[in-house]
Chains A and B, each alone.
Chain A
Amino acid sequence: MDDGAGLGHAIDGGEANPFDVPDDSRPHTPSLTFPGFRALEKMMALVQQPPFERFYEDHRAAVLGELRRLLGPQAAEDAYQETFLRALRAYDRLRHADNLRAWALTIARRVAADQHRRRDAEPEAPEPSLDTRPAYAELGELAGALPRKERTAVVLRYGYDLSYAAIGAALGSSEQAARQAASSGVRRLRRRMQ
Protein backbone atom coordinates (compact mmCIF):
# COMPACT_ATOMS: atom_id res chain seq x y z
CA MET A 1 0.00 0.00 0.00
CA ASP A 2 2.87 2.38 0.64
CA ASP A 3 3.27 4.54 -2.42
CA GLY A 4 5.74 6.97 -0.93
CA ALA A 5 4.52 9.20 1.86
CA GLY A 6 3.61 12.72 0.85
CA LEU A 7 2.97 11.86 -2.79
CA GLY A 8 -0.55 10.68 -2.14
CA HIS A 9 -2.06 13.41 -4.25
CA ALA A 10 0.02 12.69 -7.32
CA ILE A 11 -1.82 11.99 -10.51
CA ASP A 12 -1.74 8.34 -11.50
CA GLY A 13 0.57 7.69 -14.41
CA GLY A 14 -2.09 5.79 -16.32
CA GLU A 15 -4.66 8.54 -16.25
CA ALA A 16 -5.36 10.96 -19.05
CA ASN A 17 -3.27 14.09 -18.86
CA PRO A 18 -5.57 16.76 -17.50
CA PHE A 19 -3.64 19.46 -19.32
CA ASP A 20 -4.11 17.76 -22.66
CA VAL A 21 -6.78 20.09 -23.99
CA PRO A 22 -7.19 19.76 -27.75
CA ASP A 23 -7.90 23.37 -28.67
CA ASP A 24 -7.28 25.92 -25.99
CA SER A 25 -8.28 28.90 -28.12
CA ARG A 26 -11.97 28.03 -28.24
CA PRO A 27 -14.09 29.37 -25.39
CA HIS A 28 -14.61 26.67 -22.81
CA THR A 29 -18.15 25.86 -22.00
CA PRO A 30 -18.15 23.02 -19.51
CA SER A 31 -20.07 20.27 -21.20
CA LEU A 32 -19.90 16.52 -20.88
CA THR A 33 -18.94 16.28 -24.56
CA PHE A 34 -15.92 18.52 -24.17
CA PRO A 35 -13.07 16.02 -24.40
CA GLY A 36 -10.92 17.57 -21.69
CA PHE A 37 -13.75 17.85 -19.23
CA ARG A 38 -13.64 14.41 -17.64
CA ALA A 39 -9.91 14.73 -17.11
CA LEU A 40 -10.34 18.18 -15.66
CA GLU A 41 -13.02 16.90 -13.35
CA LYS A 42 -10.66 14.17 -12.17
CA MET A 43 -7.96 16.68 -11.51
CA MET A 44 -10.36 18.81 -9.48
CA ALA A 45 -11.29 15.78 -7.42
CA LEU A 46 -7.61 15.26 -6.63
CA VAL A 47 -7.27 18.82 -5.55
CA GLN A 48 -10.46 18.77 -3.56
CA GLN A 49 -9.85 15.93 -1.14
CA PRO A 50 -11.73 17.39 1.82
CA PRO A 51 -10.16 17.90 5.24
CA PHE A 52 -10.73 14.74 7.28
CA GLU A 53 -13.09 16.66 9.55
CA ARG A 54 -15.52 17.18 6.69
CA PHE A 55 -15.21 13.59 5.47
CA TYR A 56 -15.98 12.42 9.01
CA GLU A 57 -18.92 14.78 9.49
CA ASP A 58 -20.42 13.82 6.14
CA HIS A 59 -20.26 10.06 6.55
CA ARG A 60 -20.29 9.18 10.23
CA ALA A 61 -24.06 8.75 10.43
CA ALA A 62 -24.11 6.39 7.45
CA VAL A 63 -21.18 4.41 8.85
CA LEU A 64 -22.83 4.00 12.24
CA GLY A 65 -26.08 2.95 10.55
CA GLU A 66 -24.31 0.29 8.51
CA LEU A 67 -22.41 -1.01 11.53
CA ARG A 68 -25.56 -1.25 13.61
CA ARG A 69 -27.23 -3.14 10.79
CA LEU A 70 -24.35 -5.61 10.62
CA LEU A 71 -23.38 -5.90 14.27
CA GLY A 72 -26.16 -4.60 16.49
CA PRO A 73 -25.98 -1.44 18.62
CA GLN A 74 -23.40 -2.58 21.18
CA ALA A 75 -20.65 -3.93 18.96
CA ALA A 76 -21.28 -1.12 16.46
CA GLU A 77 -19.79 1.40 18.90
CA ASP A 78 -16.37 -0.26 19.01
CA ALA A 79 -16.44 -0.86 15.28
CA TYR A 80 -17.30 2.81 14.69
CA GLN A 81 -14.07 4.01 16.24
CA GLU A 82 -12.03 1.35 14.49
CA THR A 83 -13.58 2.22 11.12
CA PHE A 84 -12.64 5.88 11.30
CA LEU A 85 -9.18 5.14 12.68
CA ARG A 86 -8.56 2.91 9.67
CA ALA A 87 -9.92 5.60 7.36
CA LEU A 88 -7.60 8.11 8.98
CA ARG A 89 -4.58 5.82 8.50
CA ALA A 90 -5.34 5.48 4.80
CA TYR A 91 -6.56 9.02 4.20
CA ASP A 92 -3.32 10.64 3.07
CA ARG A 93 -2.79 7.86 0.55
CA LEU A 94 -6.17 8.35 -1.09
CA ARG A 95 -5.69 9.08 -4.75
CA HIS A 96 -8.99 10.77 -5.40
CA ALA A 97 -12.00 12.12 -3.60
CA ASP A 98 -14.59 10.25 -5.69
CA ASN A 99 -17.26 8.46 -3.77
CA LEU A 100 -15.89 8.79 -0.28
CA ARG A 101 -19.20 7.49 1.08
CA ALA A 102 -18.66 4.13 -0.63
CA TRP A 103 -15.07 4.06 0.61
CA ALA A 104 -16.15 4.70 4.21
CA LEU A 105 -18.82 1.99 4.03
CA THR A 106 -16.36 -0.50 2.57
CA ILE A 107 -14.05 0.02 5.53
CA ALA A 108 -17.00 -0.29 7.93
CA ARG A 109 -18.00 -3.64 6.40
CA ARG A 110 -14.46 -4.96 6.72
CA VAL A 111 -14.27 -3.91 10.34
CA ALA A 112 -17.60 -5.68 10.93
CA ALA A 113 -16.32 -8.81 9.22
CA ASP A 114 -13.16 -8.73 11.36
CA GLN A 115 -15.24 -8.47 14.50
CA HIS A 116 -17.18 -11.54 13.49
CA ARG A 117 -13.99 -13.45 12.87
CA ARG A 118 -12.69 -12.49 16.29
CA ARG A 119 -15.98 -13.44 17.89
CA ASP A 120 -15.65 -16.76 16.13
CA ALA A 121 -12.27 -17.16 17.83
CA GLU A 122 -10.87 -18.47 14.60
CA PRO A 123 -7.25 -17.80 13.71
CA GLU A 124 -6.79 -14.17 12.69
CA ALA A 125 -7.23 -13.73 8.97
CA PRO A 126 -4.75 -11.50 7.18
CA GLU A 127 -5.70 -7.82 7.17
CA PRO A 128 -7.73 -7.17 4.02
CA SER A 129 -6.09 -4.62 1.77
CA LEU A 130 -7.80 -1.29 1.30
CA ASP A 131 -8.25 -1.57 -2.45
CA THR A 132 -11.89 -1.73 -3.37
CA ARG A 133 -13.46 -5.12 -3.88
CA PRO A 134 -16.48 -4.63 -6.09
CA ALA A 135 -17.74 -8.14 -5.32
CA TYR A 136 -18.73 -6.98 -1.85
CA ALA A 137 -20.31 -3.81 -3.10
CA GLU A 138 -22.30 -5.61 -5.79
CA LEU A 139 -23.55 -8.17 -3.37
CA GLY A 140 -24.54 -5.42 -0.98
CA GLU A 141 -26.50 -3.70 -3.72
CA LEU A 142 -28.18 -6.87 -4.92
CA ALA A 143 -29.12 -7.84 -1.41
CA GLY A 144 -30.24 -4.31 -0.59
CA ALA A 145 -33.86 -5.06 -1.44
CA LEU A 146 -34.10 -8.15 0.82
CA PRO A 147 -35.72 -8.12 4.26
CA ARG A 148 -33.23 -7.10 6.90
CA LYS A 149 -32.45 -10.49 8.40
CA GLU A 150 -32.03 -12.21 5.05
CA ARG A 151 -29.91 -9.39 3.72
CA THR A 152 -27.51 -9.55 6.66
CA ALA A 153 -27.27 -13.30 6.40
CA VAL A 154 -26.62 -13.23 2.64
CA VAL A 155 -24.03 -10.48 2.83
CA LEU A 156 -22.15 -12.04 5.73
CA ARG A 157 -22.26 -15.54 4.25
CA TYR A 158 -21.43 -14.82 0.62
CA GLY A 159 -19.71 -11.47 0.90
CA TYR A 160 -17.56 -12.21 3.94
CA ASP A 161 -17.56 -15.97 4.03
CA LEU A 162 -18.55 -16.11 7.70
CA SER A 163 -19.75 -19.29 9.35
CA TYR A 164 -23.44 -19.69 10.09
CA ALA A 165 -22.61 -19.75 13.80
CA ALA A 166 -21.05 -16.28 13.52
CA ILE A 167 -23.95 -14.99 11.43
CA GLY A 168 -26.37 -16.38 14.00
CA ALA A 169 -24.49 -14.46 16.68
CA ALA A 170 -24.66 -11.27 14.64
CA LEU A 171 -28.39 -11.69 14.13
CA GLY A 172 -28.97 -12.59 17.75
CA SER A 173 -30.37 -15.97 16.75
CA SER A 174 -29.25 -19.55 16.19
CA GLU A 175 -26.96 -21.09 13.62
CA GLN A 176 -29.97 -22.87 12.19
CA ALA A 177 -31.95 -19.65 11.83
CA ALA A 178 -28.98 -17.99 10.12
CA ARG A 179 -28.76 -20.85 7.63
CA GLN A 180 -32.46 -20.53 6.88
CA ALA A 181 -32.28 -16.74 6.51
CA ALA A 182 -29.37 -17.01 4.07
CA SER A 183 -30.99 -19.67 1.94
CA SER A 184 -34.38 -17.99 1.76
CA GLY A 185 -32.54 -14.75 0.89
CA VAL A 186 -30.78 -16.51 -1.97
CA ARG A 187 -34.04 -18.05 -3.18
CA ARG A 188 -35.66 -14.64 -3.17
CA LEU A 189 -32.76 -13.11 -5.11
CA ARG A 190 -32.93 -15.91 -7.70
CA ARG A 191 -36.63 -15.31 -8.18
CA ARG A 192 -36.00 -11.60 -8.68
CA MET A 193 -33.21 -12.06 -11.17
CA GLN A 194 -35.24 -14.39 -13.38
Chain B
Amino acid sequence: MTVSPTLDRRFREAAAAAGLLDVAYDLTDSPIGTLLVATTDRGLCRISFDPEPDRMTEELARAFGARVLRAAGPIEPVRRQLDEYFDGRRKQFELAVDLRPAAPFSRDVLRRLARVPHGEVTTYGALAQAAGRPQAARAVGTVMNRNPIPIVLPCHRVIGANGSLVGYGGGLERKERLLKLEGALDATLDM
Protein backbone atom coordinates (compact mmCIF):
# COMPACT_ATOMS: atom_id res chain seq x y z
CA MET B 1 0.00 0.00 0.00
CA THR B 2 1.79 3.13 -1.17
CA VAL B 3 1.52 6.14 1.10
CA SER B 4 0.85 9.26 -0.96
CA PRO B 5 3.30 12.17 -0.63
CA THR B 6 0.52 14.36 0.75
CA LEU B 7 -0.43 11.90 3.46
CA ASP B 8 3.23 11.41 4.30
CA ARG B 9 3.95 15.12 4.53
CA ARG B 10 0.84 15.74 6.63
CA PHE B 11 1.95 13.23 9.23
CA ARG B 12 5.51 14.56 9.35
CA GLU B 13 4.38 18.14 9.84
CA ALA B 14 1.77 17.14 12.42
CA ALA B 15 4.42 15.25 14.38
CA ALA B 16 6.71 18.28 14.38
CA ALA B 17 3.89 20.71 15.22
CA ALA B 18 2.82 18.55 18.16
CA GLY B 19 6.34 18.83 19.62
CA LEU B 20 6.80 15.06 19.62
CA LEU B 21 10.23 14.92 18.00
CA ASP B 22 13.65 14.72 19.58
CA VAL B 23 15.14 15.72 16.24
CA ALA B 24 13.67 17.01 12.98
CA TYR B 25 15.90 16.99 9.92
CA ASP B 26 15.73 17.61 6.21
CA LEU B 27 17.99 17.88 3.21
CA THR B 28 18.61 21.22 1.56
CA ASP B 29 20.53 22.23 -1.55
CA SER B 30 23.40 24.68 -1.39
CA PRO B 31 26.19 25.85 -3.73
CA ILE B 32 28.54 23.53 -1.85
CA GLY B 33 26.34 20.48 -2.20
CA THR B 34 23.36 18.91 -0.47
CA LEU B 35 23.32 19.53 3.26
CA LEU B 36 21.52 17.61 5.97
CA VAL B 37 20.19 20.06 8.56
CA ALA B 38 18.85 18.89 11.94
CA THR B 39 17.23 20.73 14.84
CA THR B 40 15.98 19.89 18.32
CA ASP B 41 13.54 21.91 20.41
CA ARG B 42 16.59 23.87 21.64
CA GLY B 43 18.00 24.77 18.26
CA LEU B 44 20.16 23.76 15.35
CA CYS B 45 22.10 20.62 16.25
CA ARG B 46 23.67 19.34 13.05
CA ILE B 47 24.71 20.31 9.55
CA SER B 48 26.26 17.54 7.53
CA PHE B 49 28.04 17.56 4.16
CA ASP B 50 27.54 14.64 1.77
CA PRO B 51 24.93 13.20 4.11
CA GLU B 52 24.09 9.52 4.33
CA PRO B 53 20.66 9.81 5.97
CA ASP B 54 20.64 6.27 7.45
CA ARG B 55 23.89 6.76 9.26
CA MET B 56 22.92 10.30 10.28
CA THR B 57 19.55 9.35 11.76
CA GLU B 58 21.29 6.73 13.89
CA GLU B 59 23.90 9.19 15.04
CA LEU B 60 21.21 11.76 15.87
CA ALA B 61 19.14 9.14 17.70
CA ARG B 62 22.11 8.17 19.86
CA ALA B 63 22.87 11.79 20.68
CA PHE B 64 19.37 13.23 21.21
CA GLY B 65 16.80 10.42 21.41
CA ALA B 66 15.14 7.93 19.08
CA ARG B 67 12.31 10.17 17.90
CA VAL B 68 14.14 11.39 14.81
CA LEU B 69 11.98 12.26 11.81
CA ARG B 70 12.45 14.02 8.52
CA ALA B 71 10.23 17.11 8.53
CA ALA B 72 10.68 20.34 6.61
CA GLY B 73 8.85 22.75 8.93
CA PRO B 74 11.23 22.95 11.89
CA ILE B 75 14.33 23.49 9.76
CA GLU B 76 12.76 26.18 7.59
CA PRO B 77 14.41 29.15 9.42
CA VAL B 78 17.81 27.49 9.03
CA ARG B 79 17.21 26.82 5.36
CA ARG B 80 16.22 30.45 4.83
CA GLN B 81 19.25 31.86 6.61
CA LEU B 82 21.59 29.50 4.76
CA ASP B 83 20.09 30.62 1.43
CA GLU B 84 20.59 34.25 2.41
CA TYR B 85 24.17 33.52 3.47
CA PHE B 86 25.03 31.81 0.20
CA ASP B 87 23.39 34.68 -1.71
CA GLY B 88 25.69 37.10 0.14
CA ARG B 89 22.73 38.79 1.86
CA ARG B 90 23.54 37.53 5.36
CA LYS B 91 26.72 38.08 7.34
CA GLN B 92 25.59 36.68 10.63
CA PHE B 93 23.35 33.78 11.58
CA GLU B 94 20.62 34.33 14.10
CA LEU B 95 20.00 30.78 15.21
CA ALA B 96 20.01 29.02 18.55
CA VAL B 97 22.31 26.00 18.60
CA ASP B 98 22.10 22.80 20.62
CA LEU B 99 25.55 21.58 21.62
CA ARG B 100 24.49 19.22 24.40
CA PRO B 101 26.42 16.18 23.13
CA ALA B 102 29.70 18.11 22.91
CA ALA B 103 32.27 17.85 25.70
CA PRO B 104 32.74 21.02 27.82
CA PHE B 105 36.03 21.99 26.17
CA SER B 106 34.56 21.53 22.67
CA ARG B 107 31.48 23.52 23.58
CA ASP B 108 33.59 26.35 24.93
CA VAL B 109 35.77 26.43 21.82
CA LEU B 110 32.73 26.27 19.52
CA ARG B 111 31.09 29.18 21.33
CA ARG B 112 34.22 31.26 20.90
CA LEU B 113 34.41 30.20 17.27
CA ALA B 114 30.87 31.51 16.74
CA ARG B 115 32.20 35.03 17.45
CA VAL B 116 34.75 35.04 14.63
CA PRO B 117 33.12 37.49 12.20
CA HIS B 118 32.20 36.98 8.56
CA GLY B 119 35.08 37.93 6.25
CA GLU B 120 37.78 37.38 8.89
CA VAL B 121 39.95 34.45 9.81
CA THR B 122 41.66 33.32 12.99
CA THR B 123 44.16 30.57 13.81
CA TYR B 124 43.95 27.35 15.80
CA GLY B 125 46.47 28.77 18.26
CA ALA B 126 44.54 32.01 18.77
CA LEU B 127 41.36 30.07 19.45
CA ALA B 128 43.20 27.83 21.92
CA GLN B 129 44.51 30.93 23.67
CA ALA B 130 41.03 32.45 23.82
CA ALA B 131 39.78 29.23 25.41
CA GLY B 132 42.44 29.61 28.12
CA ARG B 133 44.58 26.70 26.87
CA PRO B 134 47.30 28.22 24.70
CA GLN B 135 49.04 24.84 24.25
CA ALA B 136 45.89 23.20 22.88
CA ALA B 137 46.05 24.26 19.22
CA ARG B 138 46.00 20.63 18.14
CA ALA B 139 42.98 19.86 20.32
CA VAL B 140 41.25 22.89 18.82
CA GLY B 141 41.98 21.38 15.40
CA THR B 142 40.21 18.22 16.46
CA VAL B 143 37.21 20.19 17.72
CA MET B 144 37.04 22.01 14.37
CA ASN B 145 37.26 18.73 12.51
CA ARG B 146 34.32 17.35 14.48
CA ASN B 147 32.29 20.56 14.47
CA PRO B 148 28.67 19.34 14.40
CA ILE B 149 27.37 22.58 12.84
CA PRO B 150 29.79 23.73 10.13
CA ILE B 151 29.04 26.94 8.17
CA VAL B 152 26.91 28.36 11.03
CA LEU B 153 29.71 27.72 13.52
CA PRO B 154 32.36 28.97 11.13
CA CYS B 155 35.26 26.52 11.47
CA HIS B 156 36.15 27.41 7.88
CA ARG B 157 37.43 30.73 9.30
CA VAL B 158 40.17 28.95 11.27
CA ILE B 159 43.46 28.54 9.45
CA GLY B 160 47.09 27.71 10.21
CA ALA B 161 49.47 30.24 11.74
CA ASN B 162 51.44 30.27 8.46
CA GLY B 163 48.30 31.14 6.49
CA SER B 164 47.70 27.68 5.03
CA LEU B 165 44.13 26.42 5.06
CA VAL B 166 45.24 23.21 6.88
CA GLY B 167 42.07 21.11 6.69
CA TYR B 168 38.30 20.99 6.69
CA GLY B 169 35.82 18.31 7.71
CA GLY B 170 33.88 18.88 4.50
CA GLY B 171 37.00 18.97 2.29
CA LEU B 172 39.43 21.82 1.61
CA GLU B 173 37.62 22.86 -1.56
CA ARG B 174 34.57 23.81 0.46
CA LYS B 175 36.65 25.75 2.97
CA GLU B 176 38.19 27.72 0.15
CA ARG B 177 34.82 28.29 -1.45
CA LEU B 178 33.30 29.61 1.79
CA LEU B 179 36.24 31.93 2.48
CA LYS B 180 36.07 33.33 -1.05
CA LEU B 181 32.34 33.83 -0.70
CA GLU B 182 33.02 35.86 2.43
CA GLY B 183 35.79 37.83 0.74
CA ALA B 184 38.36 36.57 3.24
CA LEU B 185 40.37 35.02 0.41
CA ASP B 186 41.20 36.81 -2.77
CA ALA B 187 38.91 35.12 -5.27
CA THR B 188 41.53 35.40 -7.97
CA LEU B 189 44.30 33.98 -5.82
CA ASP B 190 45.08 30.44 -6.80
CA MET B 191 45.34 28.43 -3.62
Closest-by-CB residue of A relative to B60 is A51
**Contact of B1 (CB < 8 Å), options: A53, A62, A81:** A62
**Could you tell me if A84 and B67 are in contact, using CB atoms closer than 8 angstroms?**
no
Known: A53-B57, A81-B11. A92 touches B66 (CB 8 A): yes
**Contact of B8 (CB < 8 Å), options: A49, A50, A60:** A60
Which bucket holds chain B's interface residue count? 20 to 34
* Interface flags, A43-71, vs B, CB<8A=1, else 0: 00000011111101000111011001000
Given the complex of chains A and B, what is the CA–CA distance between A62 and B58 in angstroms? 23
**Could you tell me if A64 and B14 are in contact, using CB atoms closer than 8 angstroms?**
no
Given the complex of chains A and B, what is the CA–CA distance between A81 and B2 in angstroms? 14
Given the complex of chains A and B, what is the CA–CA distance between A65 and B124 in angstroms? 56
The number of residues on chain A lying at the interface, defined by a beta carbon within 8 Å of a beta carbon of chain B, is: 22
Given the complex of chains A and B, what is the CA–CA distance between A92 and B64 in angstroms? 11
Known: A54-B57, A91-B67. A80 touches B15 (CB 8 A): no
Which residues on A sit within 8 Å (CB–CB) of B37? none
**Could you tell me if A77 and B7 are in contact, using CB atoms closer than 8 angstroms?**
yes
Which residues on B sit within 8 Å (CB–CB) of A56? 69
Given the complex of chains A and B, what is the CA–CA distance between A112 and B60 in angstroms? 32
**Could you tell me if A80 and B68 are in contact, using CB atoms closer than 8 angstroms?**
no
**Could you tell me if B15 and A85 are in contact, using CB atoms closer than 8 angstroms?**
yes
Known: A60-B3, A61-B3, A85-B18. A50 touches B11 (CB 8 A): no
Closest-by-CB residue of A relative to B11 is A81
Closest-by-CB residue of A relative to B67 is A52
Closest-by-CB residue of A relative to B68 is A51
**Separation in Å of the A2 CB from the closest CB of chain B?**
16
Which residues on B sit within 8 Å (CB–CB) of A64? 1, 3, 7
**Could you tell me if B1 and A92 are in contact, using CB atoms closer than 8 angstroms?**
no
**Could you tell me if B66 and A80 are in contact, using CB atoms closer than 8 angstroms?**
no
**Could you tell me if B3 and A92 are in contact, using CB atoms closer than 8 angstroms?**
no
Given the complex of chains A and B, what is the CA–CA distance between A88 and B11 in angstroms? 11
Given the complex of chains A and B, what is the CA–CA distance between A92 and B20 in angstroms? 10
Which residue of B7, B66, B69 has the most chain A CB atoms within 10 A of its CB atom?
A: B66
Closest-by-CB residue of A relative to B53 is A53
**Contact of A91 (CB < 8 Å), options: B11, B60, B66:** B66
Which residue of B1, B60, B61 has the most chain A CB atoms within 10 A of its CB atom?
A: B1
**Separation in Å of the B36 CB from the closest CB of chain A?**
12
Known: A60-B8, A81-B10, A91-B67. A54 touches B3 (CB 8 A): no
Give me the interface of A with B, judged by CB distance under 8 Å.
49-54, 56, 60-62, 64-65, 68, 77, 80-81, 84-85, 88-89, 91-92
Write 23 A-B pairs (CB below 8 A) sorted by A numbering: A50-B61, A51-B58, A51-B60, A51-B61, A51-B66, A52-B67, A53-B57, A53-B70, A54-B54, A56-B69, A62-B1, A64-B3, A65-B1, A68-B1, A81-B7, A81-B11, A81-B14, A85-B14, A85-B20, A88-B69, A89-B20, A91-B67, A92-B66
3 closest residue pairs by CB, A with B: A65-B1, A51-B57, A51-B61
